Amino acid sequence: MPATTKRGSNVGEAFRPPATDLPPWLPTRKQNRLPPDVYRQPGRFFVTVSTQDRRPWFRQPEIAERCINALRAACEEKGLALEAYCFMPDHAHILVSTDVRSDLVGLVHGFKQQTGWWFRNRYAAGGLKASPTWSIERPSLWQKSYYDHVLRRGEDLRDVVRYILENPVRTGLAGSPEEYRYAWSASGVPEPA
């Protein structure tokens, strides 16, 4: 028989989380990932990952170059074709192609985990090993999650690549896409259609 309090209610009730049946008029949070099957189909994905608190970590060449090399290695390891990238001071745009054996979610997770671990050991901890008990005040490289967009059949790949490569020009970091050292495309800078 369950233990009861003086008022006669079950003691376990105090430890049970409150009911989550919210009224239908309250807004619900949109899922930030598509169904898993979408990521297992051949396609192109435009991914944006941001630094924690939008800190401009990629102004430091060592960090930007380390992340670019890690991205290239992760794409090769996970079987994705890297088509374009641009590391802006506080975020990165990545365009990849997948096939049925590819794992986009695994790519982004592994890339962020590896570079985040390196960053913490190199910059945040002064060379100490990573620990889950670190103070929250120590900076992290990445914010949680990321934004992804599946390129649909009607979308022009050249427009997406041009958007990625012209990001530094739009923000005044470079006079032309070719001048910015942290942006690259397998096809170069496409001409407008």
State yes or no: pLDDT of 70 exceeds 90: yes
Q: Which pLDDT band holds residue 130 (cuts at 50, 70, 90)?
A: very low
Q: Is the pLDDT score of 101 beyond 70?
A: yes
Asked if residues 100 and 41 have their Cβ atoms less than 8 Å apart, the reply is yes
CATH superfamily of 37-125+136-185: Transposase IS200-like (3.30.70.1290)
- Token pair listed for 155: 């979308």
Report the pLDDT averaged over residues 176-187: 95
pLDDT at 132: 47
Alpha-carbon span 105 to 65, nearest angstrom:
22
Q: Which of the residue ranges 9-13, 132-136, 169-173 has the most confident prediction, judged by mean pLDDT?
A: 169-173
User: What's the rounded Cα separation, in Å, for the pair 123 and 64?
Assistant: 13
C-alpha distances (whole Å) from 14 to each of 1, 18, 21, 173 are 17, 9, 18, 56
- Taking the model in full, what pTM does it have? 0.76
Average pLDDT over residues 145-159: 88
Task: Compute the average pLDDT of residues 11-36.
Answer: 56
**How far apart are the C-alpha atoms of 189 and 6, rounded to whole Å?**
75
